[in-house]
Chains A and B, each alone.
Chain A
Amino acid sequence: GENVEQHPSTLSVQEGDSAVIKCTYSDSASNYFPWYKQELGKRPQLIIDIRSNVGEKKDQRIAVTLNKTAKHFSLHITETQPEDSAVYFCAASVNGNKLVFGAGTILRVKS
């Protein structure tokens, strides 16, 4: 079955700097890759997703890139703010429904 690896496990950046989180997946049939943000004690919430027919997608300060050949995708957050501090999870899916999540990245934005 699908296996998703996520790096780094923790990431500290200064406010205003960029943050990059990387994920690799094993199943070449996966075609849907969402990213979720989970604040402490809260529920995961979708922040951006990408499908395999697209190489990059942007939404304001957040972007995701996908390399199907290498089977990896990345989350880029620019101009980080303290409110970006949270745990970020990547996921991969073959059918758009059964999500396999990475282990998560704790992002700390220091002001």
Chain B
Amino acid sequence: DAGVIQSPRHEVTEMGQEVTLRCKPISGHDYLFWYRQTMMRGLELLIYFNNNVPIDDSGMPEDRFSAKMPNASFSTLKIQPSEPRDSAVYFCASSRQNEQFFGPGTRLTVL
């Protein structure tokens, strides 16, 4: 198994641009999580899905952030418009029974 796959691994964009992060969970996992990690705020859960349905999006910082999971093997996290304070590492994770397996992360830099 290839593990959780995220793309791109690095993204540099300018303020105001739309950013789309992608995630492919481990096959057979029915939970998918999006996290953001920064030095100031640590590791924060943004949103999670169960069987492709969003369960808790209380961690999504503002309306500029949106996430979708159109099928069991794909999810996106979109930021529109992006701002410099969105710069962070974004992790996707998936699980079947509690243990969450993290992807390699996307390092986002918004100039």
Contacts and interface: CB of A to CB of B under 8 A. Distances in A.
A71 to B, nearest CB: 20
Contact of B95 (A43, A97, A103): A97
Contact of B102 (A44, A49, A103): A44
* Secondary structure of the B contact surface, majority rule: strand
Interface residues of A, number: 18
A20 interface: no
A97 B50 CA distance: 10
B103 A103 contact: no
A44 B99 contact: no
A101 B99 contact: no
A43 B42 contact: no
Interface residues of B, number: 20
Contacts of B50: 97
B56 interface: yes
Interface in A44-101: 44-46, 49, 89, 96-101
The 4 lowest CB-CB distance pairs between A and B, nearest first, are A43-B102, A101-B43, A96-B98, A103-B42
30 contacts: A32-B98, A34-B98, A34-B99, A34-B100, A42-B104, A43-B91, A43-B102, A43-B103, A43-B104, A43-B105, A44-B91, A45-B102, A46-B99, A46-B100, A46-B101, A89-B42, A89-B43, A97-B33, A97-B48, A97-B50, A97-B55, A97-B98, A98-B45, A98-B56, A99-B45, A99-B100, A101-B42, A102-B42, A104-B42, A104-B43
